[in-house]
Amino acid sequence: MKNKQILPVLNIKNPNEIEAESFRLIEEEVPEEIRAKFTRDEWIIARRIIHTTGDISIVNSVIYSDNAIPTGINALKNGCNLFSDSNMIKNGVSVAKLQSMNNSYSRESIRCFIADESVAKYAKKHGITRAIASVEKASNYLNDSIIMIGNAPSALIKVIEKCYNEEIKPKLIIGMPVGFVNVVESKKLLMQTNIPFISIEGRRGGSPLAVATLHALIEIYNLK
């Protein structure tokens, strides 16, 4: 290899050092007047979302309802139920991090029914999306839970409908569906509820961002 100038970059191999350097660069690139709009805890979540996307501009789209962060942290401390609309979320959440808040957590604590055969059959029979059917199947787990939506706006809309009908009252909704159809509308509906939420305005979102948000809540707890 003729060009050896890249080698110093490759010398940063420790994952903690890589993350710390990433966060330093984010702090450097986001103007101070924008960072000043966030509380410390809000900034920790926004910073991790930036880190996950590699996109500084997303900082202007991260929104929180009042008391969303302390409510979510208290729910995790109490070992609340967790629901996700995708297996990417279920498999992406660190169980070790969850257990740092409550040692009762396991991988199976994160309920996700999207791939269940019964959900597929129910969706086909009723002419609805599997995402909606998975929310229906999860109904008994959603009260006092943290709900993570990182894929399907139809799942978020169904959750909101259940909240309006007083069928469920989650502790926190991490509402970050992604795409073009009903995505913006579903988030606007979320912002009109009285349920604590963390979301991303516009079309952007995704399962990795829902996971990053949950991990950031755990990070905040472990800083105290």
Q: Are 215 and 96 in contact (CB under 8 A)?
A: no
Could you say which of 22, 23, 51, 182 is catalytic? Answer: 51
Look up residue 224 and give its two tokens: 């105290």
Q: Are 138 and 166 in contact (CB under 8 A)?
A: no
Residue 116 CB neighbour total at 10 angstroms: 14
DSSP notation for 129-147:
-HHHHHHHHTGGG-TT-EE
Q: Are 61 and 205 in contact (CB under 8 A)?
A: no
Partners of residue 198 on adjacent β-strands: 64, 174
- Tell me 112's DSSP state: -
Helix axes 68-77, 40-53, angle to 10 degrees: 80
Look up residue 119 and give its two tokens: 């959900």
Sheet holding 172-175, edge to edge: 62-64, 197-200, 172-175, 146-149, 82-84, 110-111
Residue that the structure tokens 């961002």 belong to: 209
Q: Which of 39, 68, 41 is nearest to 220 (CA)?
A: 41
126 part of the active site: no
Which residues are known to be catalytic? Answer: 51
